[in-house]
Amino acid sequence: MAGKLFIVGVGPGHHDHMTFRAKQVIEESDTIVGYETYVNLVQDLIDGKEVHRYAMTQEVERAHQCIELAKAGKIVSLVSSGDPGIYGMAGLIYEILAQEGWDRKEGLYVEIVPGVSSLNSCAALVGSPLMTDFAVVSMSDLLVPWEIITKRVEAAAQGDFVIVIYNPASKKRIHQLQDTRKLLLKYRPPSTPVAIVKGAYRESQEVVLTDLENMEKHQDKLGMITTVIIGNSSTYRYEDMMINPRGYTSKYDIAEPQSRNK
């Protein structure tokens, strides 16, 4: 029996936001592999299956085991929160397969099952902050030098992009977002709207709307399951939302049309 490898994005965590395809391939799989926290998100879907749980820093081991299990005839789901192609495991799987000379047409069947990423789920909770061009940057410097990250942040700031920040802080990593804030204040006013969303659509969910000036007051909300959205020059606050105009008001009158039958 030929094995299969599904690289599955389960979304923010709540099953309501998981795709039909993700549930389908998890059901089809006889083996589940993943970081322990992500496996726990689908615990009720994997009873009776072979399950391999890993710690956070064992990505390489995880990837190799998935590939070997699938080559041995298993139907494997490698589960990730969000989307596996956005700071997820998809890249590492394909890097390993490419090194092995994998043939996509004739070799092991591999399928990415996309999921709702943090940028989508967090944006939905705070209004419409991503209506125009935006940039996504991870503050994790475990694999990317901090100097490169700051260059990317500065380029996004100069370009007036809305900026989405993944992995803004960890127990050992606290200066990155502070440095980023200082950098952004060179290009944006202190009143620039900022959303801090922790654990979107999970029981631990917390949402804070603030601005660049006061962002540091909410350090306790930062962590690896937190996403920060920083507005651009057009972004404004309304009620408990961030709104980023798409540009319709420059071409159209968006006020309610008057009846033509008057």
What does DSSP say about strands 31-35 and 50-54: parallel, antiparallel, or unpaired? parallel
Q: Which residue has the higher pLDDT, 255 or 242?
A: 242
Asked if residue 218 has pLDDT above 80, the reply is: yes
Q: How confident is the model at residue 223 (pLDDT cuts 50, 70, 90)?
A: confident
Query: What's the rounded Cα separation, in Å, for the pair 129 and 94?
Result: 32
Q: What is the pLDDT of residue 58?
A: 86
Mean pLDDT of the chain: 91
Residue 99 CB contacts under 8 Å (≥ 6 apart), including other chains: none
Domain map (residue ranges) of the chain: 4-116, 119-243
Q: What is the pLDDT of residue 14?
A: 81
In the sheet where 236-238 sits, what is the strand order? 127-128, 241-243, 236-238
235, 230, 190, 177: which is closest to 208 by C-alpha?
A: 230
Percentage of the chain beyond pLDDT 70 is 94
CATH node for 4-116: 3.40.1010.10
Contact predicate 75/1, CB 8 Å: no
Query: What's the rounded Cα separation, in Å, for the pair 137 and 220?
Result: 20
Structure tokens at 207: 């949402």
Q: What is the pLDDT of residue 128?
A: 97
Q: What is the pLDDT of residue 260?
A: 46
Q: How confident is the model at residue 262 (pLDDT cuts 50, 70, 90)?
A: very low
Q: Provide the 3-class DSSP secondary structure of residue 119.
A: helix
The two domains 4-116 and 119-243 share their CATH topology (first three levels equal): no
User: What pTM, to 2 d.p., does this model score?
Assistant: 0.90
Buried b or exposed e, range 212-238, using 16+ CB within 10 angstroms: beebeebeebbeebbbbbbbbeebebe
Asked which of 25-34, 70-79, 137-146, 187-196 is least confident by mean pLDDT, the reply is: 137-146
Q: Over the stretch 9-49, which tens digit does the pLDDT of each residue have?
A: 999 988 889 999 999 999 999 999 999 989 998 999 999 99
Asked which of 16-30, 75-89, 172-186 is least confident by mean pLDDT, the reply is: 172-186
Query: What's the rounded Cα separation, in Å, for the pair 15 and 175?
Result: 34
Superfamily for domain range 119-243:
Tetrapyrrole methylase, C-terminal domain (3.30.950.10)
Asked if residue 248 has pLDDT above 60, the reply is: no
Q: Which residue has the higher pLDDT, 25 or 256?
A: 25
Query: What's the rounded Cα separation, in Å, for the pair 240 and 3?
Result: 48
Q: How confident is the model at residue 258 (pLDDT cuts 50, 70, 90)?
A: low
Percentage of the chain beyond pLDDT 90 is 79
Q: What is the pLDDT of residue 171?
A: 72
